[in-house]
Structure 1
Amino acid sequence: MSRLASIVLVYATGYFTYKKNGIKWMTDLWKVVYLVTIILLVFIGLYDWSLGPASMQIRNIAKTLHEFLISPILYLGIVIINHILVKSGSLS
């Protein structure tokens, strides 16, 4: 349950931060990345729940996806891309 709570907390923080900045593509990208990654995690969980214990490799993939979702890498990457686009004049 704490993993779910950490994902929801980080998602909400990023979502409201990007929404506050008013840059729609950043908010949309944030939502898409989280949605796709959470769907992958759910599929891994369903596999583990319905077909028996998942292998250690599959569990490591799930842990890596979880760590990616709660790390600041995605947030910083989107901010850096936005900064580069603004600096180059592609965005105003």
Structure 2
Amino acid sequence: AAVRLRRGAAQGPRRWARDVRPAEDTGWDGEWDEAVLTFRDADRFAPYLARFADDVVVLDPPDLREAVIQHLKAVLACTGGRPEEAGEAR
């Protein structure tokens, strides 16, 4: 999977990422690195990546990106749409 990792964060995925390099001109808030993560099952990997919330962005493949988005939406729905409570559930 091609991902962006917020610099200085997301240490879990960073430990086993391949080809970590500074992202160029993201236009996003903060500094980011790009990396490659190996996985087998998008539905099983998505909850793990979702734990890192705004410190990890899945760029590719689309099925993993969508699985992470759906997982985050489900967590938000469980908190009644209050992101501050979702953060406390970690």
The question of a shared fold, defined as TM-score above 0.5 by the shorter chain, is answered with no
Q: Which has the larger radius of gyration?
A: 1
Q: What's the TM-score once normalised by structure 1's chain length?
A: 0.26
Q: What's the TM-score once normalised by structure 2's chain length?
A: 0.26
